[in-house]
Chains A and B, each alone.
Chain A
Amino acid sequence: MSIASATRRDWQSAFSTWANKHRKWVLAAPAMVFVALLISFPLGWTLYLSVTDASGSVRASNDFIGLQNYFEVLADTDRFWPAVVRTAIFTGGALAIEMTLGMCIALLLWRPFRGQGLVRIAILLPLVATPVAVGMMWRLIFDPNIGFANQMLAWVGIPAQPWLAGEFTALPTLMFVEIWQWTPMVVLILLAGLSSLSDEPDEAARVDGANAWQRFWHVTFPLLMPTFITALLLRGIDALKTFDILYATKGKGGGSFHEVETLNIYAYGLSFDYMDYGKSSTVLVIFFLMIIGLIWILTIRKKRSTL
């Protein structure tokens, strides 16, 4: 009896010693294994499907067809390349405006003032709101017949716009929604960066007679550059993958003319509306490579700016 409990205690202390000795991996491994399992298998699977003609049912058998999907997709000027262009316009345009607006608002909020609390709440609310609900909300506001947007235009004498319903106005309208929801994120990150800067360089420039714009452009902004690029990276990755507001407002295929069909929407449609898994996987592999390439470029830029 006492021997049994003694051996159990031995085992326990042996385990404790072992766990403490290897604590680096004992603590980190469960999370890493979980993520690795959920990533590596789907990633490998996607790569495999991209060289097959898999379609129809997930259980159907498929044949190896080599790089045929890649040739087909890269030669597809009907759906694929327009989707690439739309993704670039949507991401590039929304990002440029978000970063500029975000920088301006962050600078306005930088120094404390009365009523700061209200502004901060107003900035936080769009950020936490459910994107699908946000999409529906703007869908009502931008409705061509009953929406408040056209009502406001009527007050100032501008003719009604089709907004989300128009072939050429849908994408800019959705960029606006994206900007409305995510500029606050840029503001918060840049504000955190601004408040971590020391006042001295700014003061020194002021003593030297630099005006407000010169102090911002030659002192504050370069010091803020690493934070700025972090914000750009975080927002860029999410903007490229935007799905919720596009699908919630325009549905399958990005509308009847595919007017808001970005790469993500196109790949989702290929998988779950057309069940063309092979082609969809090819699009996803190309999309993923594009994202990685973009991050790579931005990280190099960030390293340079911190040096």
Chain B
Amino acid sequence: MTSTTVTRRQRPMMARVYTSFRFVTLAFVVIAFLAPLAWMVLSSLKTNVDIYNSEAAFIFEPTPRNFETVFGQANYLQYIWSSFFIALASTALSLVLAVPAAYSMSRFVMKKSAALVLLARVIPGVSLLVPWYFVFSNMRIVGSYTPLVLSHMFVALPLILYIMMSFFDSLPEELEEQAQIDGLTPIGAFMRIALPLSVPGIATAGILSFIFSWNNFMFALVLSGAKTKTLPVAIFDFVGYASIDWGGLMAAAVVVTIPIMVIALFTQKYIVSGLTAGATKG
């Protein structure tokens, strides 16, 4: 008798303890993930004097000077354009190649062919860079956009293929069969029925591929020239030989990360579904 009353009282108590435990822990998680990013933004608005002054950690007079450096002397508009153009071109070209391939590999269950393309995700990028550099430098196109777009496509294509395969796997085949009975050819059914229905999947794959290309560092480090330098390489070059201009460096870091974060905020659902595509199939 007494034992049952105790457990009855314990249950809500335990639940309340768990709820507050969960609240505190998750608040800590949110702070741990967001505080460093907030610190980066704060520092980008400080003069170097304030960055070196620990008393001005949170209370200081914000200045746009670092952003003036980044866009003025450091010419970041050009790097933004390079990064944007390369990301857009490599994403668009990869979509054209990978979406039909993903459709075919999903409908015909081509496991071995898919494995070949996914091998591209496993190989260390450095082992591709030396031969690519050799070929591209013999063709005299190192420093132009072509090798950069091609190398970023190499990352984008397997990613898009992976996401789109799991998307087509979940798209029912009946509609395409119906369209074929109504007189469309199989490829016609793909173009007019499956493709319009897969716009959400294409958006997911496209956004992720754009982000991956925008963030890519190693390929551009070797293959880009003065005119095609991308933002991550430009940030790396910001660290000079003598002392570091911390304010300018943080402003540059803000310039490269903020556009991606804004895109991520507005397309959150797509990004999450893309990153977790195929992971639950087992």
Chain A residue numbers with a CB within 8 Å of B190 are: 23, 27
Chain A residue numbers with a CB within 8 Å of B185 are: 16, 20
Nearest residue (CB) in B for A111 is B22
Interface size on A, residues (CB 8 A): 92
Known: A128-B211, A131-B217, A151-B54. A227 touches B36 (CB 8 A): no
Interface string of B15-31 (1 = CB under 8 A from A): 00000001001100110
Indicate if B175 sits at the interface (CB-CB under 8 A): no
Indicate if B145 sits at the interface (CB-CB under 8 A): no
Chain B residue numbers with a CB within 8 Å of A75 are: none
Please determine whether A124 and B215 come into contact, CB atoms closer than 8 angstroms.
Answer: no
Please determine whether B161 and A31 come into contact, CB atoms closer than 8 angstroms.
Answer: yes
Indicate if A272 sits at the interface (CB-CB under 8 A): yes
Nearest residue (CB) in B for A265 is B126
Known: A113-B22, A295-B122. A125 touches B130 (CB 8 A): no
Nearest residue (CB) in B for A16 is B185
Indicate if A43 sits at the interface (CB-CB under 8 A): yes
- CA separation between A112 and B250, bound complex, in Å? 36
- CA separation between A188 and B23, bound complex, in Å? 19
Chain B at the A interface: SS class? helix
Chain A residue numbers with a CB within 8 Å of B104 are: 23-25, 27-28
Please determine whether B131 and A41 come into contact, CB atoms closer than 8 angstroms.
Answer: yes
Please determine whether A108 and B26 come into contact, CB atoms closer than 8 angstroms.
Answer: yes
Indicate if B187 sits at the interface (CB-CB under 8 A): yes
- CA separation between A234 and B278, bound complex, in Å? 11
Interface residue from A136, A138, A140, A148 paired with B235 (Cβ < 8 Å): A136
Chain A residue numbers with a CB within 8 Å of B252 are: 133, 136
Please determine whether A243 and B125 come into contact, CB atoms closer than 8 angstroms.
Answer: yes
Please determine whether A237 and B122 come into contact, CB atoms closer than 8 angstroms.
Answer: yes
- CA separation between A151 and B272, bound complex, in Å? 35
Please determine whether A281 and B127 come into contact, CB atoms closer than 8 angstroms.
Answer: yes
Indicate if B222 sits at the interface (CB-CB under 8 A): yes
Known: A189-B275, A244-B232. A121 touches B268 (CB 8 A): yes
Chain B residue numbers with a CB within 8 Å of A35 are: 116-117, 120, 154, 157-158
- CA separation between A277 and B139, bound complex, in Å? 20
Please determine whether B124 and A131 come into contact, CB atoms closer than 8 angstroms.
Answer: no
Nearest residue (CB) in B for A263 is B124
Interface residue from B135, B153, B232 paired with A130 (Cβ < 8 Å): B232
Known: A38-B154, A234-B279, A280-B126. 20 other contacts (CB 8 A): A28-B105, A30-B101, A31-B98, A38-B150, A46-B130, A46-B131, A58-B130, A108-B29, A113-B22, A121-B268, A127-B275, A130-B256, A133-B40, A133-B232, A133-B254, A133-B256, A136-B250, A140-B249, A146-B246, A288-B123
Interface residues of B (CB under 8 A from A): 22, 25-26, 29-30, 32-34, 36-37, 39-40, 43, 51-52, 54, 57, 97-98, 100-101, 103-105, 108, 110, 113, 116-117, 119-135, 137-138, 150, 153-154, 157-158, 161, 185-187, 190, 211, 214-215, 217-218, 221-222, 231-232, 235-236, 238-239, 246, 249-250, 252-254, 256-257, 260-261, 263-265, 268, 271-272, 275-276, 278-282
Interface pairs A-B: 6 shortest CB-CB: A226-B282, A31-B101, A192-B276, A133-B253, A27-B104, A42-B131
Interface residues of A (CB under 8 A from B): 16, 19-20, 23-32, 34-36, 38-39, 41-43, 45-46, 49, 58-59, 105, 108-109, 113, 115, 118-134, 136-138, 140-141, 146, 148, 151, 180, 184-185, 188-189, 191-193, 196, 226-227, 230-231, 234, 237, 241, 243-244, 247-248, 264, 267-268, 271-272, 277, 280-281, 284-285, 287-288, 291-292, 295, 306
